[in-house]
Amino acid sequence: MADLLQRVAANGDVEAFRALFQDYAPRVKSYMMRQGADPRTAEELAQETLLTVWRKAALYSDEKGSATTWIFTIARNLRIDRLRKEVAWQPLPEDNDEQPSPDPAPDEVMSEKERGDRVRKILAELPPDQSEVVSLAYVEGLSHAEIASRLSLPLGTVKSRMRLAYHKIRDALEDLR
């Protein structure tokens, strides 16, 4: 292939270029499609690549790499230039403002349900005295002093039961952190 390229560079050999075109145009088009270009754009880029090869054949040097590498480098650079020119984002028309749904995402709903089920199971496994103080504190919203008063227990006992329950719950839910 390098000899064909040198013939194109030396004297504009049309037959040598035709051979290059027939060999590389389908390969460059296939490469462009693998890079995400649609068939029409891939065809345009393949033709543009080989037109650049025709115009710049004199710049090729086999000391810097193979002809294939040189041609595909041109193709890659043309693809990058094309992507830079494309409009990446366009605003919606004024009458079509979309708002994200206020509903939580399905995976969040499922995760929250699973977490809730685990917490309820852990609470059910607590000893009754610990479960009772946790329920009074977090379901009814009572302070430790109010719980002590309601259960006729010393404040220190309520705090101890709460601390024991808290450690058991925390250890059981360690993987959710």
Who has greater pLDDT, 136 or 173?
Answer: 136
Q: Which residue has the tokens 């329950």?
A: 165
Q: Which amino acid is at 152?
A: S
**CATH tag for 106-176 (out of 3.40.50.300, 1.10.10.10, 3.30.1360.40, 3.65.10.10):** 1.10.10.10
**Residue boundaries of the structural domains of the chain:** 2-85, 106-176
Q: Is there a shared CATH topology between the 2-85 domain and the 106-176 domain?
A: no
pTM of the full structure? 0.49
Task: Determine the pLDDT at residue 5.
Answer: 79
* pLDDT value, residue 74: 93
Percent of the chain whose predicted confidence (pLDDT) is above 70: 94
**Helical spans, DSSP H, in 35-104:** 39-56, 67-85
For residues 4 and 66, what is the distance between their CA atoms, to the nearest angstrom?
Answer: 12
SS3 of 76-137: the string is HHHHHHHHHHCCCCCCCCHHHCCCCCCCCCHHHHHHHHHHHHHHHHHHHHCCHHHHHHHHHH
Q: 125-162 pLDDT, tens per residue?
A: 999 999 999 989 988 899 999 999 999 999 999 999 99
Give the separation between CA 59 and CA 111, rounded to whole angstroms: 60
Torsion angle in degrees (nearest 10) through CA of 118, 124, 130, 132: 110
Structurally, at CATH architecture level, domain 2-85 sits in: Orthogonal Bundle (1.10)
CB atoms within 10 A of CB 149: 13
